[in-house]
Amino acid sequence: MLHTLKVHSALFAVALLFSINYVIAKWIMPVYLLPFGIIVLRVWVSALLFSLLHAVYIRERIQNRHDYQRLFIASLFGIVANQLCFFKGLSLTTPINTAILMTIIPIAILVVALALGKESLTWQKGLGIILGALGALGLVGGSQFSWDNANNLGSLFLIFNSLTYAVYLVLIKPLMQTYHAITVTKWVFLFGCLGVLPFGWGELMTGRWELMPDWGYWILAYVIIGATFLTYLLNAWGLKYVNASVVGFYVYLQPVLTSIIAIFFRQDELTWEKIGLAMLIFVGVYLVSKK
């Protein structure tokens, strides 16, 4: 019983860490740092921490060259494209929109699996995809979408973020069955270091470091350690004891927690329209996940 409580506490902590990140990361970007510059720091420092953790506790080696190739491709989707789209989207849209759109990941996984022929389409799954897509399109702006509207464009980046993460999960699943989760995570972050550098180095160098207050550095540390290293670590640990559906359940807590935090700090407001669109996505995810 005590061990079960520890696992669920860890998964709740992941949801809370992500929810806080959606709100406070916007306090330093783009005023002091641009999103791609933050990603360079986020990926490079996390790669270093996971490498140290792996060297001390795991010490597992990759068995063949083909696995390195799969890890590299997975990192392009799960670290490079995913992280860049996420922070770019977060910098342009609201915290609550961000948290809601993160919940479409199970639908995105199904779409990718269907495209690769790993799943068959049923009426239930098809209806779930349609409902989830309607909710996501509503948050993007629907018929009112405009490339000039930063909020709409940010939501579109977040949808791309979910799709790239879905591809990453499909690619990484066989590797997770062969290697320790820390081994896989270490290598995708190491390969990701090379991928994010061309996009973020310029923004990192043009950051307004001399103007950023002390609390800005604390937020940056939180984004790197709390919302990246710790969340990946706790999720990997949780997956050892519960199945992926239980881990996925905690994703649905993020819009609730984010709404409370964002409203408390007056960073966003929860409207009936957002609640309705979120419910469309939740019902869609339920239909595609239900056996």
User: How confident is the model over 149-189, as pLDDT tens digits?
Assistant: 778 888 889 989 988 988 888 888 888 888 988 999 999 99
Letter for the amino acid at 219? I
Q: In this prediction, what percent of the chain has a pLDDT beyond 90? A: 41
pLDDT at res. 222: 96
pLDDT at res. 8: 83
On whether the CB atoms of residues 189 and 13 are closer than 8 A, the answer is no
* Mean pLDDT (the chain, rounded): 86
Any idea which of 26-30, 143-147, 208-212 has the lowest mean pLDDT?
143-147
Collect all residues with Cβ–Cβ distance below 8 Å to 126 and sequence separation of at least 6. Answer: none
User: Using alpha carbons only, how large is the chain's radius of gyration in Å?
Assistant: 19
pLDDT at res. 140: 66
pLDDT tens track for 106-154: 788 778 878 877 777 788 888 888 888 888 777 766 656 565 677 888 8
pLDDT at res. 130: 84
Tell me: pLDDT of 248 over 80.
Answer: no
Take residue 85 and report the two structure tokens written for it: 């789209």
Cα distance between the two ends of the chain = 27
Q: 30 or 241: whose pLDDT is higher?
A: 30
pLDDT at res. 171: 86
Domain coordinates of the chain in residue numbers? 2-289
Counting Cα atoms < 13 Å in the Cβ hemisphere of 120 gives 2
Q: How far apart are CA 26 and CA 229, in angstroms?
A: 19
User: What is the number of other CB atoms lying within 10 angstroms of the CB of residue 217?
Assistant: 13
Sign of torsion over alpha carbons 173, 175, 179, 183: negative
Q: In this prediction, what percent of the chain has a pLDDT beyond 70? A: 92
Tell me: pLDDT of 291 over 80.
Answer: no
The 3-state secondary structure of the chain, one letter per residue? CHHHHHHHHHHHHHHHHHHHHHHHHHHCCCCCCCHHHHHHHHHHHHHHHHHHHHHHHHCCCCCCHHHHHHHHHHHHHHHHHHHHHHHHHHHHCCHHHHHHHHCCHHHHHHHHHHHCCCCCCCHHHHHHHHHHHHHHHHHHCHHHCCCCCHHHHHHHHHHHHHHHHHHHHHHHHHHHHHCCHHHHHHHHHHHHHHHHHHHHHHHHHCCCCCCCCHHHHHHHHHHHHHHHHHHHHHHHHHCCCCCHHHHHHHHHHHHHHHHHHHHHCCCCCCCHHHHHHHHHHHHHHHHHHCC
* pTM attached to this predicted model: 0.85
| CA 234 centroid distance within chain | 14
pLDDT tens track for 66-96: 999 999 999 999 999 999 999 999 999 888 8
